[in-house]
Amino acid sequence: MKAHAVKVREIARGLEFPEGPVFLSDGSILVVEIARGTLTRVTLDGKTQVVARLGGGPNGAAIGPDGAVYVCNNGGFEWTRDSNGYLRPVGQAHDYSGGRIERVQLSTGQVERIYDRVDGIPLRGPNDLVFDRYGGFYFTDLGKIRADAVDRGAIFYARPDHGTVDAFARPVTTPNGVALSPDGGVLYYAETEGARLWAFSLTGPGQAAREPWPSPQGARMLAASPGGHWQRFDSMAVDRDGHICVATLLHGGISIFAPDGALLRHVALPDPFTTNICFGGADMRTAFVTLSATGVLIAIDDWPSPGLPLHFCV
């Protein structure tokens, strides 16, 4: 894998395992702090403000059609700090509070739980979400890891108004980041443990044309562990040219794939838990990236392709 060096601009540090960055029109960035259990606003001068205290393990975040922030909450992790100072999760929390989807009002910080089960089955570890043009959202449930068991995950399609939520694909192995192609016709998701990138061809909201067996869940595999076995995939974003930018764990950085799965480049970053990326700025050419093990939010200016604007940004 060819690595590309970039100039990194630090926005804030001292965050407690930041994830789920969301760029807002006023120039600030929302992040979740998974280890702290908060949704936090970070201004471009590095100041932080807690928007809401969610508890558990707030993970992915996105703005919905009502202007509220929708958060995947995985229920909480246990944590360890390595000898090199890196903070990382090590399994289900002893005080695990259950997986759920929460809605946060930006103006007040009010938190509302909108989903915690599907078809009577509790959510285990919701991880990431993306809204489509119709106002619905796809979200992944990675599951939880315990000393003697690993949950089988799923992808769901839901409405934000306490309406229907349906299983889109199940079972799915450790589904993490999720994103849509520029035309909305393809749903991508990242498989953490296998470092694999998958794609569903959508036929309508929450509907897809399924690949036959041996596809394990009806998706087609675009890429598999392109940097060797010492890596995992986390969350992702798509740019206007349709490139899929996947945060890569252990290898540390952003792996950029073409829509056909070809690896274009790897942007190396100084944190083995590079977990997520979003785009912002006046021209959408600034990438904001969470370096979670070191608790840092960075910006990378002059990204090669402008980011794809998300639906319902505020």
Domains of the chain (ranges; CATH) run 18-229 (2.120.10.30)
CB 248 within 8 A of CB 266: yes
pTM above 0.75, yes or no: yes
Q: With bands split at pLDDT 50, 70 and 90, how would you rate the model's confidence at 170?
A: very high
Residues 113-164 pLDDT 10s: 999 999 999 999 999 999 999 999 999 999 999 989 999 999 999 998 878 8
Are the C-beta atoms of residues 254 and 239 closer than 8 Å to each other? Answer: no
235: region left, alpha or beta (phi > 0 left; psi from -120 to 50 alpha): beta
pLDDT tens by residue, 36-89: 999 999 999 999 999 999 999 999 999 999 999 999 999 999 999 999 999 999
Distances (CA, A) of 217 to 122, 167, 208, 224, 236: 20, 12, 11, 16, 20
Rounded to 5 degrees, what are φ and ψ at 273?
A: -115, 60
Assess whether pLDDT exceeds 90 at residue 217. Answer: yes
